[in-house]
Structure 1
């Protein structure tokens, strides 16, 4: 490219830019009315509300959030009270008189305690007794077992350990 071609190209670009500016400046703009804008926005799945409605909704949302947080603060307190009542009533009613005779295995003891509702899993209880070497130390006798006892407490009772 020589000097003249470059100048001609630059002049063409300048003329095109000026023509585009003149067209945009003098072309009539479409002013959309409020109704037409609302219709266009609603057509595109937007929701249109005025400022007062918007502020009312924001205030209502804030009020409801405060109400929910206040309810959540009260709710755990109520649950704690109910849990304490249930625990107390279960402790009073859920004791089991366990009789261990000669030849009773730790698995059989676990089964009896599970059937009585003292423990949830006889397998876990049997495994606990074996892992902590209580299974070989079980003593013959009669024992009162509470539902609130842990595996360790039950093991100490039936092995007569302190």
Structure 2
């Protein structure tokens, strides 16, 4: 008897599913529910306003191509000048860091670390301020030292002559 009950239940499910399918596919189309999607086209004024509001500029393709060509010319001249001025030295396995020349202006920056800031945000702030050469490298340095979770909330005076180690010790209050 249980077998007949199961067959009856399965038959009922098939019939109900068939009815719902028929109603769904064969119901009359209601035009009031149809959404008309209009093709929004932007005017050049709207595009220009967007660019200006977000700090971008637009240039023509011709101007862009000219800038790219000049950039390539500049790189080629720069490479030729560097090659010509480099003395021929035997290969060295270790590189010795060159201290910054005294005529380079030291940049001073006050870093304010707020609650919720991560090491990537801090590294980008330092790069934008000219304190570190590469925010990505500084963030990798902090990660390698396992200092990313030790950064303390506060305000710190930093300058561009500091090493990654010095900056890291200051913002993590490590000794």
TM-score range, shorter chain: 0.3 to 0.5
Calculate the TM-score normalised by the size of structure 1: 0.45
| Structure with more of its chain in helix, by fraction | 1
Calculate the TM-score normalised by the size of structure 2: 0.42
